[in-house]
Amino acid sequence: MQIINKDYIEIGIGLSLVDNLKPSDYFYETLKIAKTYKELEDSIKMYYKDKKLDIKQTGEKECDLVAINVAKYLEEDTFELNLTTLKTIHKNIFKNAFSQGLEKYVGVFRNVNITKNEKVLGGDKSVEYVDFNEINNTLNYDFNIEKKYKEKQILHIAKFISNIWQIHPFREGNTRTIAVFTIKYLKNKGINANNDIFKNHSKYFRDALVLANYENIKENIKADFSYLESFFNKFIIDKNIELKRFDFIKK
């Protein structure tokens, strides 16, 4: 049985902050004494078994299980640049974690079009995601282009990840899935990245992706890639680099 890698657990916890989810107190207590992922997972599942959960507890349960699932998946070395990998990541990190009603969407591309109001855009605007009918074709196109590109330029990698995120292939959990995908992809390319950045800066990652993909001609708002570039510089080049500050308010 695999020994718990607490760095990976912390990455999983940090990623859930994207959706303002935090672990339960019981999770932290159990983490202190559990030695293997199985011990931790079994204890957490037993804790929630047959419990009637309120909204806060539902979020804690998701965060608890996603943290474990992310850590376990990061332990695996396999990676291929294709649709199956993306679905597998989503399926693995959200297995048994989503609330009832969303479970059927785990590991499955969405079959509806969606919008999501973004706080960084003032709370009433959404990035325009790819039409659900074009998800497979668009992902395959981006993957095939990336397979032909052999360089390891930071800006190119950031743009590739930005494109995949903008497709938003899943109903829920896209940013967390893309973050794990990015970690695995960089490792596969032989790039030694600062994965700890996701412990404390997952919200920055999402906001930077939003700003890199949002345009509004009527309001004269253009896509701004500078924040995502800043994130990837800290992610890949130097962990001591200061992230570019969001010193503005979108209206």
3-state secondary structure the chain: CCECCHHHHHHHHHHHHHHCCCCCHHHHHHHHHCCEHHHHHHHHHHHHCCCCCCHHHHHHHHHHHHHHHHHHHHCCCCCCCCHHHHHHHHHHHHCCCCCCCCHHHCCCCCCCCCCCCCHHHCCCCCCCCCCHHHHHHHHHHHHHHHHHCCCCCHHHHHHHHHHHHHHCCCCCCHHHHHHHHHHHHHHHCCCCCCCCHHHHCHHHHHHHHHHHHCCECCCCECCCCHHHHHHHHHHHHCCCCCCCCCCCCCC
What is the mean pLDDT of the segment spanning 213-240? 95
Which part of the chain has CATH 1.10.3290.10? 85-251
pTM of the model: 0.96
**Is residue 155's pLDDT more than 80?**
yes
The predicted pLDDT at position 247 comes to 72
Confidence of residue 144 (pLDDT cuts 50, 70, 90): very high
Each residue of 43-59: pLDDT tens digit?
999 999 999 999 999 99
Question: Which band of pLDDT confidence, cut at 50, 70 and 90, is reported for residue 194?
Answer: very high
Task: Give the pLDDT of residue 251.
Answer: 41
Q: What is the mean pLDDT of residues 103-113?
A: 96
pLDDT at 121 over 90: yes
Degrees (nearest 5) of the Cα angle 235, 248, 126? 75
- Mean pLDDT for 102-109 is 94
Judged on CB neighbours under 10 Å (0-12, 13-18, 19+), 211 is buried
pLDDT of residue 239: 96
State whether CATH 1.10.3290.10 applies to domain 85-251. Answer: yes
Cβ neighbours around 237 below 10 Å, total: 12
Q: What does the block give as tokens for 195?
A: 């994965």
Please check whether residue 116 is in contact with residue 172, taking contact to mean a CB–CB distance below 8 angstroms.
no
Q: What confidence score (pLDDT) does residue 19 get?
A: 94
Confidence category of residue 29, pLDDT binned at 50, 70, 90: very high
Mean of pLDDT over the chain: 95
